[in-house]
Chain A
Amino acid sequence: MHQFIVLTLNGLTSGAVYAALALALVLIWRSTRVLNFAQGAMAMFTTYVALSVIDRGGSYWLAVLVALATGFVLGGVLERVLMRRVESGPPLNAVIVTLGLFIFLEALAPMIWGGTTRSFPAHFSIVGFTVGSKHIALSPFDLYTLVAVLVVMATLVALFRFTDVGLRMRAAAFAPEVSRLLGVRVGRMLTLGWALAALVGSLSGVLIAPVVLLSPNFMDAVLVFGFTAAILGGLDSPVGAVVGGIGLGLALSYIGGYLSPDLETLGAFVILIGVLMMRPEGIFAGSAQRRV
């Protein structure tokens, strides 16, 4: 029973990180019908930026802030400069551009920061709280991870629900032509969407980095997990992405704990294929109009 609780808490934490990346993928997919395969590499890049802020003596909070800001700018610039030119073409072209970015960023990072694995400092202890005489698996850092993801998501929901910009972004994603006629700067909204998505992705990078070691391809597995989570949620729904992320985190934690820690990525692959075969519209999606 104790192990179950441990695994559940671990699963929740890593699930929150996967949810963040899944959310980034979903935000971009919803607005541009592009699956951004460079999402993980972008997050990796901003995490390295954060690390170099810490290396120069900056505080952890400054580093996180810089990472998020870099992500925001990077996402916006990439959309405006590159993706804008291929979004109107066949879907394969946009996918290939994101793959090119993926390779480029994974090559650029070790050029700047060296190819050796680095550890990323955790601002909070990663030793579990003690309740009475017993250690529980939840550490202050886990708690911080959960809170950070929840805060960012709540902010996003508030942005989309209650602000004018959010309404315009939703309109631009939902019906670009009509929105344009009604005076929404659709292009600008897409740029903003990419920027926000990259910001959320960056968050997943800085949150997972202390747990795994930092290397140029450390986000590859997280990208797979994030994609799986997004598929679990139906790829179209932000709420689904979050629920899918948490669910996947739990499932992988149980697989790693009860079966073998080597099987996490493989487990995610099996889950992914299973969902795509059985319920391609996602477990939580209401409508099933699109053929996968």
Chain B
Amino acid sequence: MVSGGHEEGVVTDAPGGRVDTAPAPTGDASPPRPGPPLGAALTVGVVALALALAIGVALASHHGPLVPWTITVIGGLLAVGASVGWLTLPANPLLRHLAVAGVAGLLLLLFSDHVSAFSDFQIAQVAYYVPAAAGLTLLVGWNGQLSLGHGALMAIGAYTVAVLMAHNPTFPVIALILAAVVVTGLAGAVIGVAAARLRGPYLAGATLALAVALPELATRYSGTLGGAQGLPVRPLGVPTWLSETFPAERWLAWVGIVSGLVVLVLLANLMRSGIGRRLRTVRDDEVAASLAGVNVARTQVMAFVVSAACAGLAGALYGFATSLANPAAFSLILSLSLVTAIVIGGLGSLAGAVLGATALVFVPRLTTNVSNRFKLDTSVKGNLPLAVYGLLLVLAMLTFPDGIVGGLRRLARFVTPRHRSPPAGSAGTAPSTSAPAATAPTTSAAAATAPAGDVQGPPAG
């Protein structure tokens, strides 16, 4: 999974992206990329092709001939497409994102085919956190709207699947997932309209109230929504064109990987587009944005809708993975865990979101190991992950406010201290030294010890 995170890191960090999407306000004149990226294109093509073949061969051993051939053909097409795309449209973000996502996806599929069912389930777990975290990082990091209610939005997605399934058991999975996305997106539109009028802590508080209040609906309408026990979700059936011994967990992981990558590609593309620029403009200065002709409210609502739709997808996947949609699963703690994920990963970065989602799965595993090792009490064992999240959040704000990805970027800049203007797009780099005067009643010594507290927030309202 970590390798997957890195692949995605390439998606968001690819320097070429800055060529066509130089931040509008600064009028950044980036130097043209030198030389045709022939080597890169060839490499990508060859790697993808080799991967596809490798996967095909690997799969052939236990899944019969159909799957490997399908995958090889898809992989081959991807490889050709990627290299042609890279060659002809070096600055086209969509093709580059697709190519990287394709390679990452192939790698992940290959990986998932060679690990235990338990590891596959963990991949599936990461995969259901990824869309939620990615959507949230778009909303918080790129648009400055802090939502503490994304767990509740995930609940809407999971319950949509459960209710539809109970209503008509023959709905195809893809329709259920799409329905979850649409319904949650609509809910996001309603909440977003309200949210667009709120700033900073007001929005955070309102979404916090949503996270606490929404699960109550399940008990209020226990006839339809199953009360505290929740509703069952039928697990994904392994399709018949796969072999009979194909583990259900692996299929779950595959669905999750594909969904997660689709979301990541769409979001990465959105961020590199004019919409992404508008999101950031609104975040940085609403007045300037509206003077520049950006419809502030509409942009904010749109960000909320996109973000909610992602959470809906995550909720649907969550339902499939746990076979259950129940109120306790979508508590406030889930919402706060998602915030933790994007903050420690690096606010505003898709790679950070993937890293954070991975952390949400592997931190509990790590703490369980530690607890077992030191024979800690069960109450300690069960709560250690949350304690770690809390500590990480506090520590992140005090020491590395731009998260793991920010740290890696700093490291990269340290290692290769040539060209490249300071990254204007990343969330963590707005100069904070100008901010204190208005809000800082602290001693200057204290202010001096905390110079870098700059996860970009909404302008103090």
Contact (A290, B390) CB under 8 Å given A221-B212, A228-B209, A266-B213: no
Please state if A107 and B450 are interface contacts (CB–CB under 8 Å). Answer: no
In the assembled complex, A89 has its CB within 8 A of some CB on chain B: yes
- What chain B residues lie within 8 Å of A99 (beta carbons)? 148, 336, 339, 393
The CA-CA distance from A48 to B332 in the complex, in Å, is 21
Interface-forming stretch among A118-126, A152-160, A205-213, A269-277? A269-277
In the assembled complex, A10 has its CB within 8 A of some CB on chain B: no
In the assembled complex, B394 has its CB within 8 A of some CB on chain A: yes
The CA-CA distance from A172 to B450 in the complex, in Å, is 21
In the assembled complex, B384 has its CB within 8 A of some CB on chain A: yes
Residue of B nearest to A180 (CB): B441
> Which of B201, B391, B450 lies in contact with A95, CB distance below 8 A?
B201
Min distance, Cβ B215 to any Cβ of chain A, angstroms:
9
In the assembled complex, A58 has its CB within 8 A of some CB on chain B: no
Please state if A102 and B460 are interface contacts (CB–CB under 8 Å). Answer: no
Please state if A224 and B397 are interface contacts (CB–CB under 8 Å). Answer: no
Min distance, Cβ B337 to any Cβ of chain A, angstroms:
8
Min distance, Cβ A40 to any Cβ of chain B, angstroms:
10
- What chain B residues lie within 8 Å of A89 (beta carbons)? 401, 432, 435-436, 450, 453-454
- What chain B residues lie within 8 Å of A97 (beta carbons)? 393-394, 397-398
Min distance, Cβ A290 to any Cβ of chain B, angstroms:
6
Please state if A90 and B454 are interface contacts (CB–CB under 8 Å). Answer: yes
The CA-CA distance from A33 to B392 in the complex, in Å, is 23
In the assembled complex, B457 has its CB within 8 A of some CB on chain A: yes
Min distance, Cβ B189 to any Cβ of chain A, angstroms:
15
Please state if B440 and A96 are interface contacts (CB–CB under 8 Å). Answer: no
Min distance, Cβ A237 to any Cβ of chain B, angstroms:
16
Interface string of B136-159 (1 = CB under 8 A from A): 000010001010100000000000
Min distance, Cβ A285 to any Cβ of chain B, angstroms:
14
Interface-forming stretch among B67-75, B267-275, B375-383? B375-383
Contact (A115, B382) CB under 8 Å given A88-B447, A262-B220: yes
Interface residues on B, range: 35 or more
Interface centre among B148, B200, B394 (most CB of A within 10 A): B394
Interface centre among A93, A111, A266, A272 (most CB of B within 10 A): A93
Report whether over half of chain B's contact residues are helix, strand or loop; otherwise say mixed.
helix
The CA-CA distance from A84 to B99 in the complex, in Å, is 46
Please state if B442 and A88 are interface contacts (CB–CB under 8 Å). Answer: yes
> Which of A84, A90, A262, A291 lies in contact with B461, CB distance below 8 A?
A291
- What chain B residues lie within 8 Å of A140 (beta carbons)? none
Interface string of A125-167 (1 = CB under 8 A from B): 0000000000000000000000000000000000000000000
Interface-forming stretch among B3-11, B170-178, B191-199, B244-252? B191-199
Residue of B nearest to A84 (CB): B446
In the assembled complex, B206 has its CB within 8 A of some CB on chain A: yes
Please state if B390 and A90 are interface contacts (CB–CB under 8 Å). Answer: no
Min distance, Cβ A48 to any Cβ of chain B, angstroms:
13
Interface string of A187-226 (1 = CB under 8 A from B): 1001000000000000000000000000001001101100
> Which of A92, A176, A221 lies in contact with B441, CB distance below 8 A?
A176
Min distance, Cβ B5 to any Cβ of chain A, angstroms:
22
Residue of B nearest to A290 (CB): B461
Min distance, Cβ B434 to any Cβ of chain A, angstroms:
11
The CA-CA distance from A273 to B194 in the complex, in Å, is 8
The CA-CA distance from A84 to B439 in the complex, in Å, is 12
- What chain B residues lie within 8 Å of A276 (beta carbons)? 194, 197-198, 202, 206
> Which of B202, B204, B333, B396 lies in contact with A231, CB distance below 8 A?
B202
- What chain B residues lie within 8 Å of A110 (beta carbons)? 379, 382-383
In the assembled complex, B387 has its CB within 8 A of some CB on chain A: yes
Interface centre among A31, A92, A110, A172 (most CB of B within 10 A): A92
In the assembled complex, A62 has its CB within 8 A of some CB on chain B: no
The CA-CA distance from A113 to B146 in the complex, in Å, is 32
Please state if B387 and A90 are interface contacts (CB–CB under 8 Å). Answer: no
Interface centre among A86, A89, A180 (most CB of B within 10 A): A89
- What chain B residues lie within 8 Å of A263 (beta carbons)? 216, 220
Min distance, Cβ A160 to any Cβ of chain B, angstroms:
17
The CA-CA distance from A101 to B395 in the complex, in Å, is 11
Contact (A92, B457) CB under 8 Å given A85-B449, A100-B390, A101-B390: yes
Please state if B456 and A106 are interface contacts (CB–CB under 8 Å). Answer: no
Please state if B441 and A32 are interface contacts (CB–CB under 8 Å). Answer: yes
- What chain A residues lie within 8 Å of B392 (beta carbons)? 100
Min distance, Cβ A156 to any Cβ of chain B, angstroms:
20
In the assembled complex, A268 has its CB within 8 A of some CB on chain B: yes
The CA-CA distance from A93 to B398 in the complex, in Å, is 9
Please, could you name 13 A-B residue pairs with CB atoms under 8 Å apart, sorted by A? A87-B441, A90-B432, A90-B453, A90-B454, A96-B455, A99-B148, A100-B394, A100-B397, A102-B336, A107-B387, A111-B377, A180-B441, A227-B208
Given contacts A96-B393, A111-B379, A187-B446, 16 further A-B contacts (CB under 8 A): A84-B446, A87-B439, A89-B454, A90-B430, A90-B455, A92-B458, A94-B397, A104-B386, A111-B383, A111-B384, A177-B441, A187-B442, A190-B442, A231-B205, A272-B206, A291-B199
What residues make up the interface of B, taking CB atoms closer than 8 Å to A? 140, 144, 146, 148, 194, 197-202, 204-206, 208-210, 212-214, 216-217, 219-220, 331-333, 336-337, 339-340, 343, 377, 379-380, 382-387, 389-394, 396-398, 401, 430, 432, 435-436, 439-443, 446-447, 449-450, 453-458, 460-461
User: Can you list the 4 inter-chain pairs with the closest CB atoms, starting with the nearest?
Assistant: A89-B453, A104-B390, A100-B393, A176-B441
